[in-house]
Structure 1
Amino acid sequence: MQSPSHTNWQFAVHGRQLAVMEWGNPQGTPVIALHGWLDNAASFTLLAHHLPHVRLIALDLAGHGFSDHRPVGQPYYIWDNVADVQALVEHLALDEVVLLGHSLGAGVATLFAGAFPERVSRMILLDGMIPLDYPASQLPESMAKALRRGARLSRRTLKPYDSFEQALETRINSRWPVSREAATWLLERGMRQTADGWVWRSDMALTQPSIVRLCESQIAAFVRRLSMPVQLIMAERSEELSLIETMLPLVADLEFKTLAASHHLHLESGPAQQIANWIRESLRGR
């Protein structure tokens, strides 16, 4: 499939540049799309193909894709992504948006919508809903474990790939496999060529465990404030499902669906078509 035409642009947040891919109709409903961990904005390419009448605005989260990394030594906390989404909404001068989030991006969307429910008209969440948590009683041990592991990871370097094709094969056969076409979209935005070979653009600090996470009761407080319609689309047998079951009754207006697909359901041909159909129906009901 030929990739749908898009524009690339950037905006500044506290001296850092965050990158954006935008597809579709500039006068269409603005949908801000937030990708998963170690993915990038190109993960929404297939959905953009099926949603030409929507203004689809996909952000490269900090440390991913073409966006700048956070300063050395600064952890990647999920609430900092929420602040970056707020900066994007303000930069676009939008009073209200639709949020589309996958996995990590779904957790960011939920926190943003819980903090600013008046700014979000509707949410579409793909195989995810909330951020990972640390039980409050286990926070000291979790912090110590994360600090020890982070110290080890900070000394680690990744060997470059000899070719783009080698990197492509690795991504296709990874823990969360995707098609060759989808992997190409992700890697064209997620890798760069150096004198030593092909390396990831993403910040290695993203692989370090969180020193602090929200606890379940804190996350629940955000979920209870989701006053807008929420469409949650999960992959069958999803690893994420057990993490969100206790939160589902807290959502006032929830439409829950499942698809026979993998974690990257929006990058599979059939599931992506169905998701796009549901999004169009959802937006018609605004």
Structure 2
Amino acid sequence: MNASSDAPQARFYQSHGLRLHYTDWGNASAPPLLLVHGGLDHSRSWDHVARALRTNFHVIAPDLRGHGDSEWAKGSSYSLADHVYDLACLVKSESLENLAVVGHSMGGMVSLTFAGAFPEKVSRLVVLDGVTNFPARRVKPIDIRIADWVGDLDKTAQRKTQRYSSVADGADRMSGRNARLTREQAMHLATHALKADADGGYCWKFDPYLRARAPYRLSLEDNIALWSRIACPTLLVAGSESFLPDPETAGVLGHFRQAELVKIEGAGHWVQHDKPAEIISALKTFLAAPVKGQLAIHGPTPVP
């Protein structure tokens, strides 16, 4: 986006000793809407969604720690809990109340965890192809997870930084990962995902250590307990051609108090890029719908 009065503002806050960045689309008197990106992504990947919703919402899109223009964490495994704490700090620092949250992929899991831990803070929740822990999933034994993690850290320490001669080369790389991207989309994403290096080239902004998955993560039982505490209307969105399981057939929906599922035909994992018009329409409809009734935070066992 070109610098203009229409451009969002870059802002920063502190969390856990880190200087973290978020993109603020203004309209501060409107209800707040938090857009949470996925792994190895950045806040500006939400631009097309933010523009469509900024009239009715105060749209804020954070760069999670280690991503975008936020600081990298030293000696961190970038756990889900770390990202949840960062969201909590952002919500507190900006005094956000009655918050709507939209999360994609890993950002969807962060959003689910935040909404389950602090159900009183979230008024609406949308998860775009982001339920990555499901009842049929088999988890490796802890000794194997730790061994894999140590190996991943060692490999990351030895890996050379991936560099590109131009932003266009980075866009080519993105298009190779998602053939549904238009050239304009790929260039926009790459422009905000890359930074200039000392040699005149470009490299990714994200911390390479984000690729090493922490061995300590929430169990399925932990996730189900959190999902059952989410008191607000919840929309799960799945791409029909995603590599992730269908939330309905995977038995996810029955663990929420009031959740509905929308399937986007012809979309892969990056549903907001693959079918932007459909996603924006679904978001507008869901976020504008009247609340049928507020559920108690500590209520009965959820039913399908």
Q: What is the TM-score normalised by the length of structure 1?
A: 0.91
- 1:151 maps to which residue? 154
- 1:109 maps to which residue? 111
After superposition, residues 58-77 of structure 1 pair within 5 angstroms as: 58-71=61-74, 73-77=75-79
Q: 1: distance between equivalents of 2:190 and 2:60? A: 19
- 2:226 maps to which residue? 222
- 1:191 maps to which residue? 194
In the alignment, structure 1 residue 280 sits paired with structure 2 residue 284: yes
Shift of 1:138: 1.3
Q: What 5-or-longer segments of structure 1 have no aligned partner? A: none
The alignment of Structure 1 onto Structure 2 pairs a total of residues equal to 283
**1:163 pairs with one of 163, 166, 169:** 166
Native 8 Å contact 1:21 1:57 kept in 2: yes
**1:239 pairs with one of 234, 240, 243:** 243
Shift of 1:11: 0.9
- 2:261 maps to which residue? 256
What is the RMSD computed on CA atoms of the aligned residues?
A: 2.3
Higher relative contact order (CA 8 A, sep 6+): 1
Q: Deviations over 1:137-159 (max 9, x none)?
A: 71222221221232122211123
Shift of 1:8: 1.1
Percentage of matched positions with identical amino acids: 27
Judge which range, 124-133 or 190-199, deviates more: 124-133
Q: Deviations over 1:42-86 (max 9, x none)?
A: 111111222231211000000000000011x22111110000000
Q: CA 1:120–1:112 in 2, change beyond 3 Å: closer, same or farther? A: same
Shift of 1:280: 2.1
Q: What 5-or-longer segments of structure 2 have no aligned partner? A: 292-304
Native 8 Å contact 2:168 2:190 kept in 1: no
Identify, as 1 or 2, the structure richer in helix: 1
- 1:200 maps to which residue? 204
Q: 2: distance between equivalents of 1:135 and 1:265? A: 26
The letter for the 2-side match of 1:139 is: I
Native 8 Å contact 1:135 1:215 kept in 2: no
Q: CA 1:175–1:141 in 2, change beyond 3 Å: closer, same or farther? A: farther
- 2:44 maps to which residue? 42
Native 8 Å contact 2:133 2:220 kept in 1: no
Q: What is the TM-score normalised by the length of structure 2?
A: 0.86
Shift of 1:2: 7.6
Native 8 Å contact 1:32 1:99 kept in 2: yes
**1:55 pairs with one of 55, 58, 64:** 58
